[in-house]
């Protein structure tokens, strides 16, 4: 090896290594899944790159992953003939955590959270998980299509630094050797490895092979010494999971595949697998994660599906096929509608993309509708992603009724901060003669709940939605009606309770207004320019007065947002 240098891991990597080794011990077998997942990704990438340039295969186009072990030496080796890495890539990929936001995320974790394996998995344990079982890892790799002298060897004990050196490497692709810790030698075992491959990597399309040693026998059934021959046996199912018929895929397989696709560590909440033929042909396998990724609200956070064209992997995070308000959905889209050499730029121009997007969006919304039948699971979903879904009516006018069905609110019916009431629930409880859906927007649940605007509604037993998320006013400005009933902000404009109020009540109110004209005049004079108008109201039952906005004015919440934005 020449041109050898020793480099330090990025600080975050050191932190991650430390956290991982301590929090994932009881899950340590997942290291194999991570290695295979990376090897499969590398094969996908080579297949894609070779579409343009067949020579990258270097005459070996049969993509595969091989796993070997050596019980005596205590090693496990995972090898692929995928895309490989050059020196620069090795340093960047196996020396840092490239994904943005991870550093901040790590900093935010409290001591308790750091012990939580599921949180660690939030940014994908990935390659570094090898150090849960290994006290040294060697990576030998060469980028497909490069010179044989351009191989790279990476070595590390996972303790803060790694070395890289140039090596001669005949084949392209990557070979990772894990030198097992003495308490992890159980993994250098044929049976153990095989069952782990089946458990975690059955759904990987690339064949995962393991050597099978056979010995010839003489007439008496004795093994003939020196007659061992090794054949490679494919251990996994090796067909793309989404291509298989629904009925033949088990829940465990769907969950395992999710972890591969989403780089997540924990189970998804639900999924939806659809094969669509006819005018628009595509297969989609969409998942709702059980937890929010740390970059859910970041502008450039990873989102979108893994895109395949006729089973050939094209790109990760293809965000063109789902609207922003469904950005939490993960999964795979495979279609023959696009050409194999499609790029991100071309996707933006292809009219078929819009069609597929609208179809996939419907699938996504249907999946949520189904999930809503399971109240507990849906509540988990809502608590995690509800405020993202609330962006929907503004972004997707055509589907706003469907989205509205999926919304959940706090209301005066439960007076609880948990958002768990649907608009259908509300409508089911409407008073006789009530034609509108009443709501109030405030900065906090308590402010909404104790608003004087609610007094008359509480007295009359009319339910009001208590909106208190930052996005709620924005949401309501795009929701005009649901099921034919208009939404009314109880803090704005004239209060019209419609037919809920009897004629007599109305008359009595008018009389009071007349009788108090003098008082109104004096109050108006006292407040002067600060108010537009002073009126006698029947909104209040306990409070003497309240501030009301004209019907078409921007609400308080929006005003504050605009002010904060310097407008
Ligand atoms: P992720 O897979 O989520 O990107 P990992 O930590 O698993 O994160 O891997 C980090 C990076 O290292 C990968 O994105 C990839 O670029 C590179 N890498 C890891 N294993 C391989 C491999 N077998 N072949 C090529 N590149 C690899
Ligand atoms: Mg990975």
Which tens digits make up the pLDDT trace of 134-190?
A: 999 999 999 999 999 999 999 999 999 999 999 999 999 999 999 999 999 999 999
Question: Please, where are the H alpha helices in 234-333?
Answer: 251-262
| Structure tokens belonging to residue 531 | 């108010």
Half-sphere exposure at residue 311, Cβ-oriented, CA atoms within 13 angstroms: 10
Residue nearest to atom 16 of ligand 1 (CA): 93
Question: Which ligand 1 atom is nearest residue 45's CA?
Answer: 25
For residue 558, what pLDDT is reported? 63
196 near 29, Cβ under 8 Å? Answer: yes
Q: Is 44 exposed, middle or buried (0-12, 13-18, 19+ CB in 10 A)?
A: buried
Question: Which ligand 1 atom is nearest residue 94's CA?
Answer: 12
For residue 251, what pLDDT is reported? 95
Residue of 36, 127, 313 to test ligand 1 pocket, by largest number of atoms within 8 Å of CB: 127
Q: In the β-sheet with 134-142, what is the strand arrangement from edge to edge?
A: 2-8, 161-167, 151-156, 134-142, 173-180, 75-80, 65-70, 208-214, 229-234
Q: Which H helix or E strand runs over 314?
A: strand 312-318
Residues sharing a CB contact under 8 Å with residue 241, sequence separation 6 or more, in sequence order: 203, 249, 253, 254, 257, 285
pLDDT, averaged across the chain: 88
Residues sharing a CB contact under 8 Å with residue 405, sequence separation 6 or more, in sequence order: 369, 372, 422, 423, 424
531 Cα: distance to centroid of ligand 2 (angstroms): 61
166 Cα: distance to centroid of ligand 1 (angstroms): 19
For residue 70, what pLDDT is reported? 97
Residue whose structure tokens are 């002010």: 563
Site residues for ligand 1, CB cut-off 6 Å: 34, 38-39, 41-42, 80, 82-85, 93-94, 124, 126-127, 174, 263
Give pLDDT tens digits for 208-255.
Answer: 999 998 888 888 888 888 888 889 999 998 889 999 999 999 999 999
263 Cα: distance to centroid of ligand 2 (angstroms): 7
Residue whose structure tokens are 């509800």: 386
For residue 444, what pLDDT is reported? 94
pLDDT category at 567 given cuts 50, 70, 90 is: low
481 Cα: distance to centroid of ligand 2 (angstroms): 45
82 Cα: distance to centroid of ligand 2 (angstroms): 14
Q: What is the rounded CA–CA span in Å between residue 530 and residue 534?
A: 11
Give pLDDT tens digits for 9-33.
Answer: 988 888 888 888 877 777 788 899 8
For residue 538, what pLDDT is reported? 65
Interval 103-120 mean pLDDT: 66
Which of residues 111 and 322 earns the better pLDDT score?
Answer: 322
Q: What is the pTM of this model?
A: 0.77
Residue of 41, 138, 317 to test ligand 1 pocket, by largest number of atoms within 8 Å of CB: 41
For residues 409, 412, 413, 414, the Cα torsion angle rounded to the nearest 10 degrees is 70
Q: What is the rounded CA–CA span in Å between residue 393 and residue 352?
A: 23
Predicted complex ipTM exceeds 0.85: yes
Residue 341 confidence (pLDDT) above 80 = no
CA angle 482, 487, 493 (to 5 degrees): 165
Give pLDDT tens digits for 243-286.
Answer: 999 999 999 999 999 988 888 888 999 999 999 998 899 999 99
Find the ligand nearest to 131 CA: 1
Interval 59-88 mean pLDDT: 97
Q: Which 8-state DSSP code applies to residue 41?
A: H
Task: Locate the DSSP E strands across 436-550.
Answer: 437-441, 464-467, 481-482, 485-489
Residue of 38, 89, 123, 261 to test ligand 1 pocket, by largest number of atoms within 8 Å of CB: 38
Give the three-state DSSP class for 491. Answer: coil
124 Cα: distance to centroid of ligand 2 (angstroms): 7
Residue 422 confidence (pLDDT) above 70 = yes
Give pLDDT tens digits for 526-543.
Answer: 888 777 777 776 666 666
């Amino acid at each position: 090896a020449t041109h050898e240098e020793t480099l330090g891991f990025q600080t975050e990597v050191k932190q991650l290594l430390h956290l991982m080794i301590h929090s994932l011990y009881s899950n340590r077998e997942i290291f194999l899944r991570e290695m295979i997942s990376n090897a499969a990704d590398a094969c996908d990438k080579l297949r894609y790159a070779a579409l343009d340039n067949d020579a990258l295969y270097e005459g070996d186009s049969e993509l595969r992953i091989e796993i070997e072990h050596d019980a005596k030496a205590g090693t496990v080796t995972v090898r692929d003939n995928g895309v490989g890495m050059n020196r620069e890539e090795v340093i960047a990929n196996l020396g840092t955590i490239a994904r943005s936001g991870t550093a901040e995320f790590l900093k935010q974790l409290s001591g308790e959270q750091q012990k939580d394996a599921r949180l660690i998995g939030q940014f994908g344990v990935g390659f570094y998980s090898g150090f849960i079982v290994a006290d040294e890892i060697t990576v030998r790799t060469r980028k497909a299509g490069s010179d044989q002298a351009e191989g790279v060897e990476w070595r590390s004990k996972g303790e803060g630094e790694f070395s890289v050196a140039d090596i001669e490497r005949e084949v392209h692709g990557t070979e990772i050797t894990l030198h097992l810790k003495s308490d992890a030698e159980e993994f250098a075992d044929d049976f153990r490895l095989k069952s782990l491959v089946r458990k975690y990597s059955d759904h990987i399309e690339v064949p995962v092979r393991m050597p099978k040693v056979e010995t010839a026998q003489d007439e008496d059934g004795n093994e003939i010494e020196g007659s061992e021959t090794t054949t490679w046996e494919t251990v996994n199912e090796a067909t793309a999971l989404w291509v298989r018929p629904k009925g033949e895929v088990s829940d465990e397989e769907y969950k395992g595949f999710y972890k591969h696709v989403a780089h997540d560590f924990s189970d998804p909440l639900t999924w939806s697998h659809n094969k669509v033929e006819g005018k628009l042909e595509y297969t989609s396998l969409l998942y709702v994660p059980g937890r929010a990724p740390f970059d859910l609200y970041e502008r450039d956070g990873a989102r979108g599906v893994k895109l395949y064209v006729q089973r050939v992997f094209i790109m990760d995070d293809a965000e063109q096929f789902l609207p922003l308000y469904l950005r939490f959905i993960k999964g795979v889209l495979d279609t023959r509608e696009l050409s194999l050499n499609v790029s991100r730029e071309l996707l933006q121009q292809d009219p078929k993309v819009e069609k597929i997007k609208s179809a996939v969006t419907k699938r996504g919304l249907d999946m949520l509708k189904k999930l809503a039948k399971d109240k507990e699971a849906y509540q988990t979903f809502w608590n995690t992603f509800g405020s993202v879904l609330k962006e929907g009516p503004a972004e997707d006018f055509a589907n706003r009724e469907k989205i509205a069905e999926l919304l959940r609110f706090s209301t005066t019916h439960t007076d609880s901060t948990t958002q768990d009431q649907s608009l259908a629930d509300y409508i089911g409880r409407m008073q006789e003669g009530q034609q509108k859906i009443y709501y109030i927007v405030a900065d906090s649940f308590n402010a909404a709940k104790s608003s004087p605007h609610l007094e008359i509604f509480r007295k009359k037993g009319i339910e009001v939605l208590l909106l208190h998320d930052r996005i709620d006013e924005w949401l309501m400005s795009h929701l005009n009606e649901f099921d034919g009933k208009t939404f009314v902000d109880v803090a704005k404009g004239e209060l019209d309770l419609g037919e809920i109020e009897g004629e007599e009540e109305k008359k009595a109110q008018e009389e009071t207004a007349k009788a108090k004209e003098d008082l109104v005049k004096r109050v108006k004079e006292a407040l002067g320019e600060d108010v537009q108008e002073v009126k006698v109201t029947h909104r209040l039952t306990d409070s003497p007065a309240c501030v009301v906005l004209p019907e078409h004015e921007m609400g308080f919440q929006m005003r504050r947002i605009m002010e904060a934005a310097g407008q």
